[in-house]
Amino acid sequence: MTEQHEAPSGVSRALQKDIPQATVARLAAYLRVLAMLADDGVAIVSSEELAVAAGVNSAKLRKDLSFLGPNGVRGVGYDVVKLHTRIEDVLGLSQGHRVVLVGAGNLGRALVGYGGFQRRGFSVVGMFDSDPEVIGREVAGYVVGDVAELIGSVAALAPTIAVLTVPDEAAQDVCDRLVAAGLQSILSFAACELNVPGSVEVRRVDLAVELQLLSFETARNAAAPAEAALSEVVHAVSSGRIAHRVPPSHAAPAHPVLKHGRTSTKHSTTSHSATEPSSKGSVV
Protein backbone atom coordinates (compact mmCIF):
# COMPACT_ATOMS: atom_id res chain seq x y z
CA MET A 1 0.00 0.00 0.00
CA THR A 2 1.47 3.29 -1.05
CA GLU A 3 1.21 6.49 0.92
CA GLN A 4 -0.75 8.37 -1.72
CA HIS A 5 -3.54 5.79 -1.52
CA GLU A 6 -4.19 6.31 2.15
CA ALA A 7 -6.72 8.51 3.88
CA PRO A 8 -5.57 11.16 6.33
CA SER A 9 -6.13 8.70 9.19
CA GLY A 10 -3.58 6.36 7.62
CA VAL A 11 -6.15 3.89 6.30
CA SER A 12 -7.06 3.32 2.67
CA ARG A 13 -10.68 4.28 1.99
CA ALA A 14 -10.87 1.52 -0.62
CA LEU A 15 -9.56 -0.94 1.94
CA GLN A 16 -12.30 0.00 4.40
CA LYS A 17 -15.00 -0.48 1.76
CA ASP A 18 -13.67 -3.91 0.76
CA ILE A 19 -13.72 -5.44 4.26
CA PRO A 20 -16.75 -7.77 4.74
CA GLN A 21 -19.15 -6.92 7.57
CA ALA A 22 -18.47 -10.25 9.31
CA THR A 23 -14.75 -9.48 9.30
CA VAL A 24 -15.40 -6.03 10.78
CA ALA A 25 -17.26 -7.66 13.67
CA ARG A 26 -14.33 -10.01 14.31
CA LEU A 27 -11.83 -7.14 14.10
CA ALA A 28 -13.69 -5.55 17.00
CA ALA A 29 -13.24 -8.79 18.95
CA TYR A 30 -9.51 -8.89 18.13
CA LEU A 31 -9.23 -5.27 19.27
CA ARG A 32 -10.75 -6.13 22.65
CA VAL A 33 -8.30 -9.01 23.14
CA LEU A 34 -5.33 -6.90 22.06
CA ALA A 35 -6.32 -4.17 24.53
CA MET A 36 -6.32 -6.71 27.36
CA LEU A 37 -2.96 -8.11 26.24
CA ALA A 38 -1.47 -4.61 26.11
CA ASP A 39 -2.78 -3.90 29.62
CA ASP A 40 -1.04 -7.08 30.80
CA GLY A 41 2.25 -6.00 29.23
CA VAL A 42 2.26 -8.59 26.44
CA ALA A 43 4.37 -7.33 23.53
CA ILE A 44 4.06 -10.14 20.95
CA VAL A 45 1.17 -12.53 20.28
CA SER A 46 1.01 -15.41 17.81
CA SER A 47 -1.92 -15.91 15.46
CA GLU A 48 -2.85 -19.11 17.29
CA GLU A 49 -2.90 -17.37 20.68
CA LEU A 50 -4.90 -14.42 19.39
CA ALA A 51 -7.34 -16.72 17.58
CA VAL A 52 -8.00 -18.83 20.68
CA ALA A 53 -8.54 -15.75 22.83
CA ALA A 54 -10.96 -14.30 20.26
CA GLY A 55 -12.83 -17.57 19.77
CA VAL A 56 -11.99 -18.16 16.08
CA ASN A 57 -9.62 -20.47 14.23
CA SER A 58 -6.18 -19.19 13.29
CA ALA A 59 -6.80 -19.50 9.53
CA LYS A 60 -9.81 -17.22 9.72
CA LEU A 61 -7.90 -14.74 11.88
CA ARG A 62 -5.03 -14.57 9.39
CA LYS A 63 -7.49 -14.03 6.54
CA ASP A 64 -9.22 -11.24 8.48
CA LEU A 65 -5.93 -9.50 9.23
CA SER A 66 -4.84 -9.80 5.60
CA PHE A 67 -7.38 -7.05 4.83
CA LEU A 68 -5.24 -4.68 6.90
CA GLY A 69 -2.13 -5.12 4.78
CA PRO A 70 1.23 -6.52 5.96
CA ASN A 71 1.11 -7.39 9.66
CA GLY A 72 3.28 -9.52 11.89
CA VAL A 73 6.43 -11.53 11.27
CA ARG A 74 6.29 -15.16 10.17
CA GLY A 75 7.42 -17.41 12.98
CA VAL A 76 7.37 -14.56 15.48
CA GLY A 77 3.85 -13.14 15.70
CA TYR A 78 2.14 -9.77 15.85
CA ASP A 79 3.26 -6.68 17.69
CA VAL A 80 0.33 -6.15 20.08
CA VAL A 81 0.45 -2.34 20.20
CA LYS A 82 0.98 -1.90 16.45
CA LEU A 83 -1.81 -4.31 15.52
CA HIS A 84 -4.13 -2.66 18.05
CA THR A 85 -3.42 0.75 16.50
CA ARG A 86 -3.89 -0.60 12.99
CA ILE A 87 -7.31 -2.10 13.79
CA GLU A 88 -8.35 1.11 15.56
CA ASP A 89 -7.51 3.05 12.39
CA VAL A 90 -9.51 0.68 10.19
CA LEU A 91 -12.51 0.82 12.53
CA GLY A 92 -12.33 4.61 12.60
CA LEU A 93 -11.56 4.75 16.31
CA SER A 94 -8.25 6.55 16.27
CA GLN A 95 -9.93 9.96 16.57
CA GLY A 96 -12.54 8.78 19.06
CA HIS A 97 -16.31 9.38 18.96
CA ARG A 98 -18.67 11.69 20.82
CA VAL A 99 -21.93 9.99 21.77
CA VAL A 100 -25.34 11.30 22.82
CA LEU A 101 -27.80 8.97 24.50
CA VAL A 102 -31.55 9.50 24.26
CA GLY A 103 -33.64 7.71 26.87
CA ALA A 104 -32.81 7.98 30.57
CA GLY A 105 -34.68 4.85 31.66
CA ASN A 106 -33.14 1.78 33.24
CA LEU A 107 -31.26 0.72 30.10
CA GLY A 108 -30.06 4.23 29.33
CA ARG A 109 -28.80 4.71 32.88
CA ALA A 110 -26.94 1.42 32.74
CA LEU A 111 -25.28 2.29 29.43
CA VAL A 112 -24.25 5.80 30.39
CA GLY A 113 -22.67 4.45 33.57
CA TYR A 114 -20.61 1.83 31.73
CA GLY A 115 -16.94 2.78 31.86
CA GLY A 116 -15.91 0.54 28.98
CA PHE A 117 -17.12 3.01 26.36
CA GLN A 118 -14.55 5.61 27.35
CA ARG A 119 -11.73 3.06 27.28
CA ARG A 120 -12.67 2.09 23.75
CA GLY A 121 -12.81 5.61 22.38
CA PHE A 122 -16.49 6.49 22.89
CA SER A 123 -17.15 9.52 25.05
CA VAL A 124 -20.73 10.19 26.16
CA VAL A 125 -21.29 13.95 25.86
CA GLY A 126 -25.00 14.25 26.54
CA MET A 127 -28.13 12.44 27.75
CA PHE A 128 -31.75 13.32 26.93
CA ASP A 129 -35.28 12.30 27.86
CA SER A 130 -38.87 13.53 27.48
CA ASP A 131 -40.07 12.75 31.01
CA PRO A 132 -40.48 16.01 33.00
CA GLU A 133 -39.61 14.13 36.19
CA VAL A 134 -36.26 13.05 34.74
CA ILE A 135 -35.27 16.20 32.82
CA GLY A 136 -32.77 18.25 34.81
CA ARG A 137 -31.70 15.37 37.04
CA GLU A 138 -28.12 14.15 37.15
CA VAL A 139 -27.36 10.61 35.96
CA ALA A 140 -23.80 9.27 36.15
CA GLY A 141 -22.47 12.83 36.07
CA TYR A 142 -24.67 13.99 33.18
CA VAL A 143 -27.59 16.40 33.50
CA VAL A 144 -30.50 14.96 31.52
CA GLY A 145 -31.58 17.35 28.79
CA ASP A 146 -34.98 17.82 27.16
CA VAL A 147 -35.60 15.95 23.91
CA ALA A 148 -37.48 19.01 22.69
CA GLU A 149 -34.14 20.83 22.62
CA LEU A 150 -32.30 17.94 20.99
CA ILE A 151 -31.59 19.60 17.64
CA GLY A 152 -29.98 22.66 19.17
CA SER A 153 -28.06 20.58 21.71
CA VAL A 154 -26.66 18.30 19.02
CA ALA A 155 -25.29 21.33 17.18
CA ALA A 156 -23.50 22.42 20.35
CA LEU A 157 -22.26 18.99 21.48
CA ALA A 158 -21.14 17.85 17.99
CA PRO A 159 -21.70 14.12 18.54
CA THR A 160 -20.86 11.59 15.85
CA ILE A 161 -23.06 8.75 17.16
CA ALA A 162 -26.46 8.64 18.88
CA VAL A 163 -27.79 5.79 21.02
CA LEU A 164 -31.55 5.31 21.39
CA THR A 165 -32.96 3.58 24.46
CA VAL A 166 -36.52 4.88 24.12
CA PRO A 167 -39.84 2.98 23.81
CA ASP A 168 -40.76 1.75 20.35
CA GLU A 169 -43.54 4.31 19.95
CA ALA A 170 -41.10 7.19 20.49
CA ALA A 171 -38.16 5.81 18.50
CA GLN A 172 -39.08 7.15 15.05
CA ASP A 173 -39.77 10.67 16.30
CA VAL A 174 -36.45 10.82 18.16
CA CYS A 175 -34.68 9.36 15.14
CA ASP A 176 -36.17 12.04 12.90
CA ARG A 177 -34.93 14.75 15.28
CA LEU A 178 -31.42 13.28 15.27
CA VAL A 179 -31.34 13.03 11.48
CA ALA A 180 -32.59 16.61 11.20
CA ALA A 181 -29.74 17.66 13.49
CA GLY A 182 -27.21 16.01 11.17
CA LEU A 183 -26.51 12.67 12.93
CA GLN A 184 -25.59 9.93 10.48
CA SER A 185 -24.83 7.03 12.83
CA ILE A 186 -27.52 5.70 15.17
CA LEU A 187 -27.58 2.68 17.46
CA SER A 188 -31.14 1.75 18.40
CA PHE A 189 -32.36 -0.61 21.11
CA ALA A 190 -35.97 -0.25 19.91
CA ALA A 191 -37.51 -3.37 18.39
CA CYS A 192 -39.11 -1.42 15.52
CA GLU A 193 -37.50 -0.60 12.20
CA LEU A 194 -36.49 3.03 11.74
CA ASN A 195 -37.02 4.87 8.46
CA VAL A 196 -33.97 6.95 7.62
CA PRO A 197 -32.34 8.45 4.50
CA GLY A 198 -29.82 6.34 2.67
CA SER A 199 -26.95 8.42 4.05
CA VAL A 200 -27.79 7.45 7.65
CA GLU A 201 -26.48 4.22 9.15
CA VAL A 202 -28.69 2.53 11.75
CA ARG A 203 -27.68 -0.49 13.81
CA ARG A 204 -30.44 -2.19 15.78
CA VAL A 205 -29.91 -4.23 18.93
CA ASP A 206 -32.88 -6.46 19.78
CA LEU A 207 -32.20 -8.14 23.11
CA ALA A 208 -35.18 -10.49 22.67
CA VAL A 209 -33.71 -11.80 19.40
CA GLU A 210 -30.35 -12.35 21.08
CA LEU A 211 -32.05 -14.33 23.86
CA GLN A 212 -33.92 -16.40 21.26
CA LEU A 213 -30.63 -17.23 19.56
CA LEU A 214 -29.21 -18.32 22.89
CA SER A 215 -32.31 -20.44 23.48
CA PHE A 216 -31.73 -22.17 20.14
CA GLU A 217 -28.10 -22.88 20.95
CA THR A 218 -29.08 -24.24 24.38
CA ALA A 219 -31.66 -26.57 22.83
CA ARG A 220 -29.22 -27.73 20.16
CA ASN A 221 -26.46 -28.39 22.67
CA ALA A 222 -28.87 -30.32 24.91
CA ALA A 223 -29.89 -32.52 21.98
CA ALA A 224 -26.31 -33.22 20.90
CA PRO A 225 -25.55 -35.97 23.52
CA ALA A 226 -28.77 -37.83 22.69
CA GLU A 227 -28.03 -37.63 18.96
CA ALA A 228 -24.48 -38.85 19.55
CA ALA A 229 -25.78 -41.81 21.58
CA LEU A 230 -28.28 -42.67 18.84
CA SER A 231 -25.53 -42.45 16.23
CA GLU A 232 -23.38 -44.84 18.25
CA VAL A 233 -26.21 -47.35 18.55
CA VAL A 234 -26.98 -47.17 14.83
CA HIS A 235 -23.30 -47.63 14.03
CA ALA A 236 -23.04 -50.59 16.39
CA VAL A 237 -26.12 -52.21 14.86
CA SER A 238 -25.00 -51.69 11.27
CA SER A 239 -21.50 -52.97 11.99
CA GLY A 240 -22.77 -56.15 13.60
CA ARG A 241 -21.40 -55.40 17.07
CA ILE A 242 -24.91 -55.76 18.46
CA ALA A 243 -26.76 -58.98 17.56
CA HIS A 244 -30.42 -58.85 16.59
CA ARG A 245 -32.61 -61.51 18.06
CA VAL A 246 -36.30 -61.78 18.63
CA PRO A 247 -36.82 -62.00 22.42
CA PRO A 248 -37.62 -65.60 23.37
CA SER A 249 -40.77 -64.55 25.27
CA HIS A 250 -42.28 -63.14 22.07
CA ALA A 251 -41.05 -65.79 19.60
CA ALA A 252 -43.61 -68.19 18.16
CA PRO A 253 -43.03 -71.91 19.00
CA ALA A 254 -40.86 -73.46 16.32
CA HIS A 255 -42.31 -76.26 14.22
CA PRO A 256 -40.39 -79.54 14.69
CA VAL A 257 -39.37 -79.56 11.05
CA LEU A 258 -37.66 -76.17 11.45
CA LYS A 259 -35.45 -77.32 14.27
CA HIS A 260 -32.97 -79.00 11.96
CA GLY A 261 -31.52 -78.56 8.51
CA ARG A 262 -31.15 -75.75 6.00
CA THR A 263 -34.81 -74.76 6.09
CA SER A 264 -34.50 -73.76 9.74
CA THR A 265 -31.41 -71.68 9.01
CA LYS A 266 -33.08 -69.90 6.11
CA HIS A 267 -36.17 -69.00 8.13
CA SER A 268 -34.11 -67.80 11.05
CA THR A 269 -32.08 -65.58 8.76
CA THR A 270 -35.20 -64.08 7.22
CA SER A 271 -36.71 -63.34 10.63
CA HIS A 272 -33.41 -61.80 11.76
CA SER A 273 -33.28 -59.44 8.79
CA ALA A 274 -36.85 -58.35 9.23
CA THR A 275 -36.13 -56.97 12.69
CA GLU A 276 -32.87 -55.25 11.82
CA PRO A 277 -33.10 -51.45 11.41
CA SER A 278 -31.34 -49.94 8.41
CA SER A 279 -28.70 -47.26 8.92
CA LYS A 280 -29.78 -45.59 5.68
CA GLY A 281 -31.84 -42.49 6.27
CA SER A 282 -31.18 -42.47 10.00
CA VAL A 283 -31.14 -39.07 11.66
CA VAL A 284 -27.92 -38.69 13.58
- Is residue 150 marked as binding? no
Q: Yes or no: say if 96 and 125 are a contact pair by the CB < 8 Å rule.
A: no
- Is residue 105 marked as binding? yes
- Is residue 195 marked as binding? no
Domains 3-90 and 97-205 share a fold: no
| Band of residue 14 on the pLDDT scale cut at 50, 70, 90 | very low
* Domain range summary for the chain, segments of one domain joined by +: 3-90, 97-205, 211-274
Q: What is the pLDDT of residues 56-109, one digit of tens each?
A: 998 999 999 999 888 777 778 899 999 999 998 898 887 889 999 999 999 999
- Is residue 106 marked as binding? yes
For 13-17, 122-126, 193-197, which range has the lowest pLDDT when averaged over its residues?
Answer: 13-17
Q: Can you name the CATH fold of 3-90?
A: Arc Repressor Mutant, subunit A (1.10.10)
Q: Is the pLDDT of residue 34 over 90?
A: yes
Q: What is the pLDDT of residues 207-235, one digit of tens each?
A: 888 888 889 888 888 877 766 666 676 66
Does the structural domain 97-205 have CATH classification 3.40.50.410? Answer: no
- 228 or 37, greater pLDDT: 37
Residue 114: its pLDDT value, please?
87
Nearest to 251 by CA among 234, 233, 267: 267
Nearest to 191 by CA among 206, 201, 203, 202: 206
- Is residue 108 marked as binding? yes
| Band of residue 119 on the pLDDT scale cut at 50, 70, 90 | confident
Q: Yes or no: say if 122 and 111 are a contact pair by the CB < 8 Å rule.
A: no
pTM: 0.62
Q: How far is CA 82 from each of CA 48, 86, 89, 212, rounded to the nearest angstrom? A: 18, 6, 11, 38
Q: Is the pLDDT of residue 32 over 80?
A: yes
Q: Is the pLDDT of residue 277 over 50?
A: no
Q: How far apart are CA 104 and CA 164, in angstroms?
A: 10
Q: Is the pLDDT of residue 257 over 60?
A: no
